[in-house]
Structures are given as structure tokens and as C-alpha cells.
């Protein structure tokens, strides 16, 4: 009995030591970053050689809900990031100019607030976005490798949000509940062929030059039952795309064709 008790005691100690070792192994050295005094804001990443950060796997970083302005500036080798479940805000240019590529993972329970140019000029190829009230100005500007974007509930697409994203071929906002497309939102997306606007775009703005120089744009599906309105010329520099609107109500297609702005596209408007 004593031998059994002795063995169990040391087995528990070994297991605890192993568990402690595993916990330590996922934590990033504290010298790699600077947090605010309350531990809720990542002020600055201090290790320019970091290639990947998993905030949710780190016992301290998982508590972070805000990433400060230019927090990762100078981290030219950073290729991947997994955000914490608690994330609420990423400030201006937090990741701009890093080497972010395929792995950018959001786990947020709440809406995320984005500053301007958060991911601009990175090499992201695909991203699934969290809920947000607005994708900020130039958030993905000049991300020339970005091919696939999956939208959660998104209020507004900000000015120049995807400007110069030359690899994107499709934008589907049907589930995004967007209520505005900002000026130059998709300008210069030269491979963009198909766009779907959600039903929530009823009488909402499509900004000036929103699709300027999208020379491959062929198909614009508008699910709104009342025509969105144009601010300036959303289609500058390109031929009008074919426009598809819901088949019901029956007179919806005529409403679009008679609209003071959409009538210029009348011969391009068809029922789904």
C-alpha cells in the first residue's frame, strides 16, 4: 500500500511538472512585447524577428482587447497572427507593411473596431472577417495578393477599403448587411468580376469611384428592393456591368430602370 501511495505521489508531481512546462511553452517571452499597465492593450511588439503570434494561446496576450496604433510597425517578418477571443479594437496601421500572409484568424465574440490602414500593403491572401460596424478607410489597400474575403455582419465598407487589391475576383456582401459602400472602396481591383450587394442597401449610397478602373467587372447583383443611390460616378473608367435585381416584386426591374441614376444602365438591368 505504501509503495502504491509513493508511486501515485510521484506520478502526480511528474504530471504537474509536465503540465506547467506545457503552459510555459505556449507563452511568448514578456520581453517580446509591451502591454498597458492594465494588460488590456498591446502597446508595441518589440521583437522584429517574430514570424507568428498566437494571442489566444498565451496566458497574458489572450486578455488583450486592444492593439495600439502601429503596434507591429517594423515587424517585417510577421506572417501570421491569431487574435484573442477578447479582441475589440485594432488601431490605425497596427499591421501595415508587415509580411502577413495566409493566417490571420479572428476569434472575437463582439464587434471589432478597426482603425485606418490596419492591414494595408501586406501579403494576406485570404481572410474571414469578424463582425464590425465599419471596415475602415484603406484597411486592405494595396493588398495585391488578397484573393478571398468572407464577410460577417458589416455596417459600412469604408473609403478605399480594398483599393488596389488586384487579385480579388469576387465580393459577396449578401450576408454582410452592409449599409454603405464608400468612395473608391474597390477602385483598381482589376480582376474583380462579380459583386453582390445585400438587401440592406435599400436607398443606401454607393460612393464615387467605388468600382473605378475595375476593368474586369461583368456582373453586379443588387438584392435591394429600393435602388441604392450613387455618390458621383461609381463606375468611372469602365463600361457598365450587367446588373441583376430580384425577380419579385414584378415591377422592381422597372423601378430600377426608371430611377434617375440607374436609368443610364437600363439596357444592362435584368431579373435574377
pLDDT digit string, tens, across residues 23-67: 444 799 999 999 999 999 999 999 999 999 999 999 999 999 999
Average pLDDT over residues 85-89: 97
Grid coordinates of 121 = 500593403
Q: Which three cell numbers stand for residue 43?
A: 502597446
Band of residue 74 on the pLDDT scale cut at 50, 70, 90: confident
Domains of the chain are: 30-271 (3.80.10.10)
pLDDT tens for residues 203-222? 999 999 999 999 999 999 99
Q: What does the DSSP 8-state code read for residue 112?
A: -
- Averaged over 117-123, what is the pLDDT? 96
Tell me the sheet residues that pair with 252.
none
Q: How far apart are CA 98 and CA 131, in angstroms?
A: 23
Q: Is the pLDDT at 80 greater than 60, yes or no?
A: yes
b/e code 172-195 from CB counts within 10 Å (16+ = b): ebeebbbbbbbbbbbbbbeebeeb
Model's pTM, two decimal places? 0.89
pLDDT bin (cut points 50, 70, 90) of residue 19 is very low
Phi-psi sector, 190: left (phi>0), alpha (psi -120 to 50), beta: alpha
- Residue-wise pLDDT for 139-154, tens only, equals 999 999 999 999 999 9
pLDDT band for position 102 (50/70/90)?
Answer: confident
Amino acid at each position: 500500500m505504501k509503495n502504491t501511495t509513493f508511486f501515485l505521489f510521484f506520478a502526480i508531481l511528474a504530471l504537474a511538472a509536465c503540465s506547467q512546462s506545457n503552459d510555459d511553452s505556449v507563452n511568448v517571452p514578456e520581453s517580446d512585447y509591451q502591454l498597458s499597465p492594465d494588460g488590456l492593450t498591446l502597446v508595441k511588439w518589440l521583437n522584429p524577428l517574430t514570424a507568428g503570434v498566437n494571442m489566444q494561446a498565451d496566458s497574458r496576450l489572450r486578455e488583450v482587447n486592444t492593439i495600439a496604433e502601429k503596434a507591429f510597425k517594423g515587424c517585417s517578418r510577421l506572417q501570421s497572427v491569431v487574435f484573442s477571443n477578447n479582441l475589440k479594437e485594432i488601431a490605425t496601421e497596427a499591421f501595415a507593411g508587415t509580411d502577413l500572409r495566409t493566417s490571420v484568424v479572428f476569434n472575437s465574440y463582439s464587434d471589432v473596431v478597426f482603425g485606418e490602414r490596419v492591414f494595408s500593403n501586406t501579403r494576406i491572401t485570404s481572410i474571414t472577417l469578424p463582425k464590425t460596424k465599419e471596415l475602415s478607410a484603406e484597411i486592405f489597400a494595396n493588398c495585391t495578393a488578397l484573393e478571398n474575403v468572407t464577410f460577417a455582419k458589416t455596417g459600412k465598407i469604408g473609403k478605399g477599403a480594398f483599393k488596389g487589391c488586384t487579385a480579388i475576383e469576387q465580393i459577396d456582401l449578401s450576408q454582410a448587411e452592409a449599409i454603405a459602400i464608400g468612395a473608391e472602396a474597390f477602385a483598381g481591383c482589376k480582376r474583380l468580376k462579380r459583386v453582390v450587394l445585400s438587401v440592406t442597401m435599400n436607398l443606401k449610397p454607393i460612393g464615387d469611384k467605388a468600382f473605378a478602373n475595375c476593368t474586369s467587372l461583368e456582373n453586379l447583383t443588387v438584392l435591394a428592393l429600393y435602388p441604392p443611390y450613387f455618390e458621383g460616378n461609381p463606375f468611372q473608367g469602365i463600361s457598365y456591368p450587367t446588373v441583376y435585381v430580384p425577380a419579385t416584386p414584378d415591377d422592381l426591374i422597372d423601378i430600377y430602370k426608371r430611377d434617375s441614376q440607374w436609368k443610364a444602365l437600363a439596357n444592362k438591368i435584368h431579373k435574377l
